[in-house]
Amino acid sequence: MAAGDSFYITTPIFYVNDVPHIGHAYTEVAADVLARWHRQRGDDTWLLTGTDEHGQKILRTAVANDTTPQAWADNLVENAWKPLLKTIDIRNDDFIRTTDERHEKAVTSFLQKLYDDGHIYSGEYEGYYCVGCEEYKQLDDLMETTDGDYAGQLVCKIHSRPVEVLKEKNYFFRMSAFEKPLLDLYESQPDFVQPSSVRNEIIQFVKQGLADLSISRSSFDWGIKVPWDDTHVVYVWFDALLNYVTAAGYGVDDELFARRWPAVHIVGKDIARFHAVIWPAMLMAAGLEVPRAVFGHGWLLVGGEKMSKSKLTGIAPTQITDTFGSDAFRYYFLSAITFGQDGSFSWEDLSARYQSELANGFGNLASRTIAMVTKYFDGQIPDATADASITELAERVTVAADAAIDRFAINEALASIWELVDALNGYITEHEPWALAKDPANRDRLAQVLATVVHGLGTLTVLLSPVLPKATSTLWAALGGTGSVDEQRVDRAWQFTAGSRVTPLSAPLFPRIEQAATEGAA
């Protein structure tokens, strides 16, 4: 997309039935890096995140903890979910809660329109219901266990918990009417659902035939009331998905909505079906544009299992950031895992990559560059023309990383950027500034070598600022950069212009982590 375009990006809104783990943080960081990159490219960028607070699961969790659903949600939002954003340096523009008045009003308006236009009807439904998913399940979504506490029972394949058989009067959305329009959408916009593995799953699911969707519940009352029948509350997904338009001004601020919508949705692959099937069908029914794209990323695996509190594989983000820092958290998950595929987490891999890539690679490059300019030129950045080999590489890397971001290939963008890190470290080793400094006759060559390294390091500082906001802010100041690093055009990073002087770093950007500390974290 061209710089200056609107770029509205969202994370899912997360259930407040428990505290966040690194799986949630992974989604947040990915969306944040994409948003930061687009902001620094000059796009009109807006990042939305938030919490999903309605539904039977929240109600039961609150009752089990002897409190009200609203009090439970308020506590989790203020003491767990919003603090997560600070822990991992998320620069969101908005935070929506499904209990917000702005959301509830807009949901009511949207639902009434669909009802008035004939897209909703009443009926009776009986089926298997998973409280964890807040969704009725088909038989192929279930499996019969043979051992353990639930032996002989049908359990949800995602949560491994028994489903309930429910029969109740519900309101239904005529989703079956959108089977062909959805298939036409996937064909006409091949990039609408990404990556291709998720797209193929979605297409096969829709081709099997779509049933009408139950969109209300009458057996509990924690939710938004159906406007024409207050004995029903809105089905949690029909409520939750609407956050993306209610936060963007739907039904309230037409000018803002036109500016923001449509959005790019970053979600886990397990909820891609809701976003790529139900959500665009809802929007089509309302006469609104479908999202720009739905990207279903892979799962974080620990010990071969998907990250989950219920399976005791959940790791709190602070268990990592307290030892390695937020920059390392952000870098590790986005470089070590191919975005869009499942990826395994291990403390050993995190520690190894921190040491080799951040501390010894980028961090040491920064430290010795500034130290050499300080030692050999008294802190004055040499006024010399940088070697073309490095400046040309800096441009190629910038272009490649920018193109990778447009493909949501964050790990590929970082791999491209790291080509410059490795090249600069190799350049220093090859040209040995410390040896050049011993002979005054080599003064001009020494100036050129250090000017080249400073230029490359400045380029890296801009390119890495969406991923490593803390370290690059410190380094930008040390390089005498004008303004803040996040104000620099990331798509023109190779055009970096150095300040006049460097300022010594007071500490390494990525301090050595003692083995004992990492073992303690594990």
Q: Where are the beta strands (DSSP E) in 154-215?
A: 154-156, 164-173, 193-194, 213-214
Say how many C-beta atoms besides its own lie within 10 A of residue 287's C-beta.
8
Per-residue pLDDT, 522:
41
Was domain 357-495 assigned CATH 1.10.730.10?
Answer: yes
Confidence check: pLDDT of 221 > 60: yes
* Helix (H) or strand (E) segment spanning residue 50: strand 44-52
The H-assigned helical ranges of 242-305 are 243-246, 254-260, 272-273, 279-286
Per-residue pLDDT, 124:
84
* Helix (H) or strand (E) segment spanning residue 478: helix 469-478
Per-residue pLDDT, 18:
86
Which DSSP string do the residues of 407-419 spell out, in sequence order?
Answer: TT-HHHHHHHHHH
Most confident among 45-54, 118-127, 297-306 (mean pLDDT): 45-54
pLDDT tens column, 89-114: 999 999 999 999 999 999 999 999 99
Please tell me which residue in 159, 169, 225, 375 is annotated as part of the active site.
Answer: 159
Is the distance from CB of 397 to CB of 317 less than 8 angstroms? no
Q: Is 438 tagged catalytic?
A: no
pLDDT tens column, 240-293: 999 999 999 999 999 999 999 999 999 999 999 999 999 999 999 999 999 999
Q: Is 137 tagged catalytic?
A: no
* Burial label, 82 (beta-carbon count in 10 A; 0-12, 13-18, 19+): middle
Q: What are phi and psi of 123, to 5 degrees?
A: -170, 180
What are 521's two structure tokens?
């974290």
Q: Is 159 tagged catalytic?
A: yes
Annotated binding-site positions for Zn(2+): 130, 133, 156, 159
* Helix (H) or strand (E) segment spanning residue 69: helix 69-76
CA distance linking residue 290 with residue 192, whole number of Å: 9
What Cα–Cα distance (Å) separates residue 66 from each residue in 55, 185, 310? 17, 47, 20
Please tell me which residue in 21, 38, 265, 297 is annotated as part of the active site.
Answer: 21
Per-residue pLDDT, 519:
44
pLDDT tens column, 352-406: 999 999 999 999 999 999 999 999 999 999 999 999 999 999 999 999 999 999 9
Confidence check: pLDDT of 141 > 80: no
Please tell me which residue in 57, 130, 269, 275 is annotated as part of the active site.
Answer: 130
Question: Per-domain residue ranges for the chain?
Answer: 120-173, 357-495
CA distance linking residue 502 with residue 429, whole number of Å: 21
Per-residue pLDDT, 1:
57
Helix (H, G, I), strand (E, B) or coil at 335: helix
What are 262's two structure tokens?
């449509």
Please tell me which residue in 156, 265, 275, 297 is annotated as part of the active site.
Answer: 156
Say how many C-beta atoms besides its own lie within 10 A of residue 131's C-beta.
20
What are 416's two structure tokens?
């491209």
What are 145's two structure tokens?
């266990």
Please tell me which residue in 133, 265, 269, 455 is annotated as part of the active site.
Answer: 133
What are 391's two structure tokens?
């400046």
Share of residues in the chain with pLDDT > 90 (%): 82
Helix (H, G, I), strand (E, B) or coil at 210: coil
The dihedral over CA atoms of 348, 349, 355, 359, expressed in degrees to the nearest 10, equals -140
Q: Is 156 tagged catalytic?
A: yes
Q: Is 21 tagged catalytic?
A: yes
Annotated binding-site positions: 130, 133, 156, 159
Q: How many CA atoms lie within 13 A of 166 on its CB side?
A: 24
Is the distance from CB of 137 to CB of 313 less than 8 angstroms? no
The H-assigned helical ranges of 346-409 are 347-353, 364-377, 388-406
